[in-house]
């Protein structure tokens, strides 16, 4: 799945020692404003998430990281974005109007352990013997162009160039006959347009987005790997996808609905570039492809269309402390090479409950998911249980933490100080 920050997957809790490594991150580029334009809002968040299969033998997936977005921290025209986890870090320095009155510049660095690990899942089975760990880093330069349009939602054009290096090795449980890929060096160019956006929080009250993207990846010295070189890394792959998203809160009842339509295609996809659908970790990628009840990234696709949504209703008298949610998602896919299975449709449904503290400092969400078409040893049908936690340091009452907040909604996503 293409994303601005590479995920770090917890393959299996048995592979790690020490309680701290249980928080190994699936770092997220969910900060849509930060990824497609410089985010003008001050943010200081702790994010945790786990999605565990209740049946079958799938990988345990989760993330734990601290997210900071600090406008004007270094100078009036600079914004520092940082995602920090125990064994991975991703940072970007945004320079406002570096390329003219409407053009911003972003300079990014990221890297750490397990950042490029791969979980092999085929036909609903987690192939631990064919999975491996990857460590690496990346550097990027991004150009963000603000395009004036009527209304509160910003329109941004993006051009991002990136270099990436990764080294791979087998891990505990990898089959001795399975040869991990050689070191990977690649260049990546992404371009696209995004109208609107979504905040990097668990449940935004209001969000809307229309976006379209193209990404090309060029690899130096690609090669074969696996069992007797039975699979290979393509020397170049091309990806193109788009998303339409809407989150709306009804002020009268506090009922909320979220709808998400994502579709994409590719040319010469491989295991490192295929779209991977499944699981329910909303902050695990810039464009999460959630399917409740499935393993995280269970389905590998060369082309896909995914439609999903949630309806959230208040359960407490104050209409905000306790809420319940009904979620559903369905995808039509053409599988990536080597990952075909019976049927091209995958559907998942879920139920959840959430708690929001009165100070809005804590949010805790629990969710059950059922994957109707998830292939399991007992037949179709998979079950998962998830936990999501968000802690907002800026809501803590302290003399040192008194940020100015703009009104909620799409309007706050527009970079401040731009000429209309």
The pTM of the full predicted model, rounded to 2 decimals, is: 0.85
pLDDT tops 50 at residue 188: yes
Helix H or strand E encompassing 364: strand 362-376
How many Å apart are CA 350 and CA 368, to the nearest integer?
A: 5
Retrieve residue 181's tokens.
């890929």
Does 420 map to a domain?
Answer: no
CATH number at residue 368: 2.40.160.50
- CA–CA distance, 110 with 138 (Å, rounded to integer): 5
Residue 322 counted as domain residue: yes
Residue 50 belongs to some domain of the structure: yes
Residue 249 has pLDDT above 60, yes or no: yes
- How many Å apart are CA 331 and CA 319, to the nearest integer? 32
Give me the number of domains the chain comprises.
1
The residue written with tokens 């809160």 in the block is 249
Range(s) of the domain holding residue 403: 13-413
8 within domain boundaries: no
Q: What is the pLDDT of residues 354-366, one digit of tens each?
A: 999 999 999 999 9
Residue 175, in any domain of the structure: yes
- 116, part of any domain: yes
Q: Does residue 273 or residue 35 have the better pLDDT?
A: 273
Q: With 70 as the cut, is the pLDDT of residue 5 above it?
A: no
What average pLDDT does the chain have? 85
Q: 344 Cβ partners below 8 Å, 6+ apart?
A: 332, 333, 334, 335
Containing 220, the helix (H) or strand (E) segment is strand 207-220
Q: Which residue has the tokens 């579709």?
A: 263
Q: What is the pLDDT of residue 153?
A: 84
User: Residue 230 falls within a domain, yes or no?
Assistant: yes
CB contact at 8 A, 266 and 238: yes
Asked if residue 143 belongs to a domain, the reply is yes
Question: Residue 252: CB partners within 8 Å, gap ≥ 6?
Answer: none
């Amino acid at each position: 799945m293409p994303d601005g920050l590479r995920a770090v997957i917890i393959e299996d809790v048995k592979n790690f020692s020490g309680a701290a490594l249980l928080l190994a991150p699936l770092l997220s580029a969910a900060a849509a404003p930060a990824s497609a334009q410089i985010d003008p809002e001050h943010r200081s968040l702790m994010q945790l998430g786990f999605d565990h299969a209740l049946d079958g033998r799938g990988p345990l997936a989760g993330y734990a990281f601290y997210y900071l977005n600090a406008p004007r921290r270094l100078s009036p025209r600079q914004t520092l974005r940082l995602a920090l986890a125990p064994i991975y870090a991703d940072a970007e320095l945004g320079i406002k109007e570096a390329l003219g009155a409407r053009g911003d510049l972003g300079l990014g660095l990221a890297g750490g352990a397990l950042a490029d690990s791969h979980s092999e899942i085929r036909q609903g089975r987690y192939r631990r013997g064919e999975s491996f760990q990857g460590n690496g880093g990346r550097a990027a330069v991004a150009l963000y162009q603000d395009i004036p349009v009527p209304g509160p939602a910003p329109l941004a054009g993006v051009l991002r160039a990136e270099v990436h290096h990764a080294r791979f090795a087998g891990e505990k449980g990898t089959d001795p006959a399975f040869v991990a890929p050689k070191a990977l060096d690649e260049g990546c160019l992404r371009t696209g347009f995004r109208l609107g956006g979504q905040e990097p929080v668990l449940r935004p009250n209001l969000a809307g987005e229309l976006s379209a993207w193209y990404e090309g990846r060029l690899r130096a010295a690609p090669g074969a790997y696996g069992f007797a070189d039975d699979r290979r890394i393509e020397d170049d792959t091309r990806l193109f996808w788009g998303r339409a998203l809407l989150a709306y809160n009804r002020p009268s009842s506090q009922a909320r609905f979220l709808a998400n339509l994502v579709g994409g295609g590719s040319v010469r996809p491989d295991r490192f570039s295929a779209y991977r659908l499944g699981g329910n970790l909303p902050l695990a990628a810039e464009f999460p492809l959630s399917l409740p009840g499935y393993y995280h990234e269970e389905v590998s696709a060369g082309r896909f269309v995914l439609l999903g949504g949630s309806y959230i209703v208040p359960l407490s008298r104050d209409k905000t402390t306790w809420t319940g949610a009904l979620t559903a998602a369905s995808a039509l896919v053409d599988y990536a090479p080597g990952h075909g299975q019976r049927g091209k449709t995958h559907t998942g449904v879920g139920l959840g409950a959430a708690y929001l503290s009165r100070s809005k400092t804590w949010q805790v969400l629990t969710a059950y998911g059922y994957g109707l078409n998830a292939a399991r040893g007992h037949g179709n049908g998979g079950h998962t249980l998830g936990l999501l936690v968000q802690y907002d340091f800026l809501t803590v009452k302290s003399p040192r933490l008194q940020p100015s907040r703009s009104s909620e909604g799409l309007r706050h996503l527009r970079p401040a100080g731009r000429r209309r």
